[in-house]
Amino acid sequence: MTGRGEASLNRLIEGVLADLDLRTRFREHLAISSWPQIAGQVVSGHTQAEAVRDGVLIVATDTSAWANELQMRRRELLELLAAKIGSGVIRDIHFRAGARRRGRRAKQPVPRPSEVRLSGRQEKRIAEAAGKIEDEELRRGAERAFTALAKISEWRRRGGWRRCRRCGQWQRVGRRWCASCTYSGRRRRRR
C-alpha cells in the first residue's frame, strides 16, 4: 500500500473509531499492552498493567516496595505513556502492592493471541459484522480488527482470565470484581 493510501486508511479508521466512540478505549488498551515497553524489562518483570478506569491505569506489583518505587517514578511513567499513546488518555497510575501473582512452576511457553484459532461460528459473526460495511478497503480493515479482538478475548478466556462480575472487564485474578470495582467508591467493598 502506498504512503497516501495508508494515510487515508488511517484517517478513515480514526474516523470510524471516533464515530463509534472507541478511540479512547483503543488508546486505553494500547496503554495496557505497551506497559512492558514503557516500564522496561526489569520493572515489567515485577509488574503487570491490568486495566484502565476513568483515565487511571491500574498496575499490579509483586511487593509494596515495587509499588512505592514506582509511585515515586509516576510522573516519568505518565510522560512516557503520553508520548506513546497521546496525552489526555491516562491521567494517573495506581500501583497495587502484592496483587500480581507469581508463578512458582516452570513457565510453559504461552501462545500468542494471534495463534488462537477461532470457531466457525465466531468467524461467521465477524464476516457478517464486517459485511455491513460497503467500502471494500474499510471492510477488510474492520474484519482484521474484529478478528484480532475476538482472538484476544478467546486467548484471555483460555488463559484463565475472567470477566469482572460488576463491569465486565477482563481480569487475571480470580476475584469476583476487578481491581477498579473493588477499590472504587468511598469505602472498600468486600470480595
Number of domains in the chain: 2
DSSP label at 186? S
**pLDDT exceeds 50 at position 186:** no
How far apart are the C-alpha atoms of 120 and 116, rounded to whole Å? 13
- For the chain, give the number of residues: 191
Residue type, 25: R
For residue 10, being part of any structural domain is answered with yes
Q: Is residue 106 part of a domain?
A: no
Q: Does the pLDDT value for residue 75 go beyond 90? A: yes
Pull the grid cell for residue 67: 509499588
pLDDT averaged over the chain? 79
- The CATH number of whichever domain residue 51 belongs to comes to 3.30.300.20
pLDDT of 78: 92
Asked if residue 170 belongs to a domain, the reply is: no
Residues 79 and 146 in one domain: no
Domain span at 79: 1-100
pTM of the model: 0.48
